[in-house]
Amino acid sequence: MGVGSRKRDILRVVVTDYIKLAHPIGSRSIARRYKMGFSPATIRNEMADLEELGYLIQPHTSAGRIPTQKGYRYYVDELMEESDLDEEEKKKILEVYEYERMREIEEIIKHTSRLLSSITNYTSLILGPQLRKSAFKKLQIMPIDSQRGLLVLVSDTGFVKNKVINLPQTLSSGELNKIVSYLNRRLEGLSLEQFTSRLINELRRDLYHYVRFLEDTFTLVEESLTEDERRVILGGTTNILNQPEFGDIEKVKGLLSLFEQHSQLASLLSAPLADVDSVIIRIGRENILEEVQECSLVMTTYRLGNDIIGTIGLLGPTRMNYSKAVSVVRQVARRLEVM
């Protein structure tokens, strides 16, 4: 299919119209809506060819055509033009981040997810800061009462994690301070993925008197690396219900309960790290998970500092407005990077 060929034009029209109208597109309606200079019959022939080639399909004989997954793929790769955002949408983006300068990273992400879903009416997914890649910044243990203390861990990307731990009664505040400053010295600048069992054992040796209460400290860091890395922030989870293709409860059920399983979502968002900065589109069955095989995901990575720290994405039906989704995701990611 060469550039400027009639087939290309017709495929483009079918895809964009189907995205807009959500029902099969017939030759007659194309001829009516766009004055292409061909009769419906000609268009019909071309459409039959496009079906032969696997780009279109008929839901049943004598309905119009709708794009196949391959058709969408060709569209986003070859035909789509990235649309510019409305003035209003641009303004919305600016406003959100206007007042966000000082907040914690968690807050920024939550607002971002709300922003994405409110502009697009799709569901937004944000894979939070990859704690693994971020560096240790500071650790502190503040005594709460005689038995308990609060362990606080801060990463250079502004991520904070707490845990209440037991303190041995025998521990003086002087000793505690010494331990804390030892740990800070020892861990300074390490990325959290360097916090391996070898390192832990080394620390254990050095601090063998206090090992029992330090176990909690180690546990916290480990939890941060595993469980917490999979944290996904969602926005607009009910937007999907407005899509006509999800009018059936059964279809929605799987999707909505997927939204409660963060580790699954995290795997969905794991992008090939090669394509940093580019926007990745996964259409239908290109996604691994069963539940989203009738959905598409438009996503990109965002960075804070120099390391990649997360992914933001929009999930909609395969019939989603890719053009808009791509530009929204791109713009917001860019905006996020200058925070």
CB of 97 to DNA, least distance (A): 44
CB nearer to DNA: pick between 33 and 178:
33
Give the contact letters, 269-298, x = binds to DNA (CB under 7 A), - = no.
------------------------------
How far is the C-alpha of 207 from the C-alpha of 217, rounded, in Å? 13
**Sheet strands (E) in 39-155:** 56-57, 66-67, 123-127, 136-143, 148-155
Question: Cα(324)–Cα(321) distance, rounded to whole angstroms?
Answer: 6
Tell me: does residue 61 bind DNA (CB under 7 A).
yes
Q: Give the residue with the Cβ less far from DNA, 42 or 293.
A: 42
- As a whole number of angstroms, the distance between CA 311 and CA 175 comes to 42
Rg, C-alpha atoms of the chain? 26
Question: Whose Cβ is closer to DNA: residue 24's or residue 149's?
Answer: 24
Q: DSSP character for 82?
A: P
**Which residue stretch of 42-50, 188-196, 241-249, 294-302 sits at the interface with DNA (rule: CB under 7 A)?**
42-50
Q: What is the DSSP string of 137-182?
A: EEEEEEE-SSSEEEEEEEETTS-EEEEEEE--TT--HHHHHHHHHH
The correct pick among 57, 58, 103, 286 for binding DNA (CB under 7 A) is 58
Residue 39 binds DNA (CB under 7 A): yes
Q: Does residue 60 interact with DNA by CB under 7 A?
A: yes
What separation, in Å, do the N-terminal and C-terminal C-alpha atoms of the chain show? 44
Q: Which is nearer to a second copy, 95 or 260 (CB)?
A: 260
Q: From 39-47, 74-82, 94-102, 253-261, give the range in contact with DNA by CB under 7 A.
A: 39-47
Are the C-beta atoms of 184 and 152 separated by less than 8 Å? no
Asked if 41 is part of the footprint of DNA (rule: CB under 7 A), the reply reads yes
38 sits near DNA (criterion: CB under 7 A): yes
Instruction: Give residues in contact with DNA (CB under 7 A).
Output: 24-29, 37-42, 44-45, 47-48, 51, 58, 60-65
